[in-house]
Structure 1
């Protein structure tokens, strides 16, 4: 048996998101934007990488065949048909 709040709360949230938020959001958004004016901080590199470079004093380049976030830097020998 499911408790009443476990049924009522999701239904009320669905009704709010589906019907009430599109009507209320234009009126509420100026008030909310005054409270949340800070933007997210974005870093270009990872902090672990920067710390290790500072400790070692060298900047290590990528080696041939090393995998990166975008995929391997070199393509392995593939058999072509």
Structure 2
């Protein structure tokens, strides 16, 4: 038997995401933006990393990391 919160909480979250968030988000987004001001960290893989084709190692900023590779 499934407990009541295990049924009710997902249903309430679905109702919020589906119906209430599109209505409420324009009103609450200014408050969210004041608290959550950090930008996401973005990594560029083309200029910082070089891939060695012969053994599958990735060289980034002078350190070497071995990439996962299937061996048959």
- Shorter-chain TM range is 0.5 to 0.7
Does residue 29 of structure 2 align to residue 18 of structure 1?
no
- The answer for unaligned runs of 5 or more in structure 1 is 54-81
The structure showing larger relative contact order (alpha-carbon pairs under 8 Å, at least 6 residues apart) is 2
Q: Say which one has the larger Rg.
A: 1
**Alpha-carbon deviation of 1:31?**
0.5
- The answer for unaligned runs of 5 or more in structure 2 is 50-58, 65-72
Does residue 60 of structure 2 align to residue 52 of structure 1?
no
Greater percentage in strand? 2
Q: Normalised by the size of structure 2, how large is the TM-score? A: 0.62
* CA RMSD across the alignment: 1.8
Q: Hey, which bits of structure 1, 4+ residues long, moved more than 4 A?
A: none
CA distance in 2, matches of 1:12, 1:28: 19
**Alpha-carbon deviation of 1:40?**
1.1
Any idea what SS the aligned residue of 1:21 has?
A: helix
CA distance in 2, matches of 1:23, 1:52: 48
Q: Normalised by the size of structure 1, how large is the TM-score? A: 0.56
